[in-house]
Amino acid sequence: MALSDLPPAERHRQIAGGFTDHVRGAKNWDAPAPVAGWTARDVVRHLVEWFPSFLAAGAGVELPNGPSVDDDPVTAWQGQSRAVQTLLDDPETAQRSFANRHIGELPLDQAIDRFYTSDVFMHTWDLARATGQDDQLDPEFCAVLLAGMEPIEEVMRSSGQYGPRVPTPDDADTQTRMLGFIGRDPFWTPR
């Protein structure tokens, strides 16, 4: 079944599982990452640090605190990934609401899926590139994300969360085009 056809809990399980594999495979946490000024550790830090406050503010859900990414990026990531999966596996989560002044109100599982799981998916490439691991993303899900982001490009860019679009070749594959759209140089390699 395609990633885009899965319910939020299963999509997170698969995407977070892939990211976990890359976290476990990382050997140099200080390696530069494709996001300017970031290291491999910063990719994990970003995911571990932004989401708990987003979730708490929008749904009143407090994730358990784990170790610092500085002390133990593997355990920090795995703890958060497990906590989010537990939340998504709870049948009550789909009945709960998430509210945010920028996006309105939607079911909590859909908010996690749309904003967090998608972010984990895209940052998998960053971590893979930084650590010299397989950086191939699911092409069908890349296409789904790109199709969903293109109509709201102005809103995304004005948020400050995405850099300027990076031009890609006309015949580029979907992953390359998605990466360029979110402001990554799809041909980036560590120096």
What CA–CA distances, in Å, run from 162 to 32, 40, 117, 158, 180?
18, 18, 16, 8, 11
Residue 169 belongs to some domain of the structure: yes
Same domain, 167 and 108: no
Same domain, 149 and 129: no
Provide the residue range defining the domain that includes 181.
Answer: 136-185
pTM (two decimals): 0.95
Same domain, 141 and 60: no
Query: Model confidence over 93-148: pLDDT tens digits?
Result: 999 999 988 788 999 999 999 999 999 999 999 999 999 999 999 999 999 999 99
Give 18: exposed, middle or buried? Use CB within 10 Å, 0-12, 13-18, 19+: middle
Query: What's phi and psi for 175, nearest 5 deg?
Result: -60, -45
